[in-house]
Amino acid sequence: MKKIKFMAISIFGLFNLCFAAEESITITTYYPSPYGSYNSLQTNKLGVGDNNGDGVLTSSDVPTASGDMLVKDQIGINTSVSSLAATSSRLYVGGDISTNDIYLMSPKSGSARWAGDIGLFKIVTVVGTGAAAICVCPSGYARIACSGSRESNVQDTCGESNCGYVGVIPTATNGCKTGVDAGGEGTEPVATCYCMKGAIEE
C-alpha cells in the first residue's frame, strides 16, 4: 500500500512540474539554410554580396535577367581562400583560361580595346613616282617604325648621280615618307610603314 501511495504522489508531482514549466517558444527557419553543403544547386540568376551598396541584402542585389550573376567583390577559381584574400584581383584563376577574347576597359596603356588586338602588326608599303613616296598606317593602328628604298625591285636601274636614295622620315602623325633624287629615269621610291594595332599614336 505504501508503494502505491508513493507512485501516485510522484506522478501527480510530475504533472505539476510540466504545467509549471510551460512557456512559449518561437522557431525561425531559413530556406535555403544560410550554411550548408549541397550536391546540386540550380538557379535562374544569382547575386552574391551587397551589389547595390545599400548595406542590406535584398532582391535589388540580384540581376534581373535569367542566366546572369552579380558578385560584389572577388571570384576565385581553382584556388584557396588564403590565395584569394592575398590578391586584389577581381578574378583569380589558378590555371589556364580558354576564351575567345577579353575586352580591356581601362588598360594600363592605350585606349580601351580587345586583348586580341594587342600585338597585331600591319605593314603598309607604297611605291611612289618622282621624288617621294608616302605611306600611312590605317585607322586603329599606330606607326612604330619606317623604312624606305629607292626602287621597289631594289635594283640600280639608273646611276647613283641621277636617282640616289635620300632617306626616310616619319611624317604627319601616322605616316612615313621616302625621298629620292628624281633626276634620272625609272625612279620608284618606296615607303614602308610598320604599324601596330592598339599601340599609342605619337
Q: Could you report the per-residue pLDDT of 94-153, keeping only the tens digit for each?
A: 888 888 888 888 887 777 878 776 668 889 999 987 788 999 998 888 999 999 887 766
Taking the model in full, what pTM does it have? 0.45
The answer to whether residue 9 scores a pLDDT higher than 50 is no
pLDDT in the model for residue 109: 73
User: Which residue reads 505504501 in cell numbers?
Assistant: 2
- Give domain status of residue 190, yes or no: yes
Verify that 80 and 123 share a domain, yes or no.
no
Kindly state the average pLDDT of the residues 77-91: 90
- Per the rule left: phi > 0, alpha: psi between -120 and 50, beta: everything else, 82 is alpha
| Segment 153-192, tens digit of pLDDT | 656 555 555 566 778 999 988 999 988 776 555 567 889 9
> Residue 125, SS3?
strand
Beta bridge mates, 74: none
Q: Does residue 57 fall inside a structural domain?
A: yes
Residue with cell 636617282: 163
If asked whether residues 127 and 190 sit together in one domain, one would say: yes
Assigned domain for 27 exists: no
- Give residue 150's domain range: 117-197
Taking CA 129 as the corner, what is the angle to CA 162 and CA 123, rounded to the nearest 5 degrees? Answer: 115
Same domain for 154 and 87, yes or no, is: no
If asked whether residues 141 and 180 sit together in one domain, one would say yes
Asked whether residue 34 is domain-assigned, the answer is no
Residue whose C-alpha is closest to residue 193's, from 185, 181, 201, 183: 201
Total domains, the chain: 2
* CATH number of domain containing 133: 2.60.40
* Residue 137 covered by a domain: yes
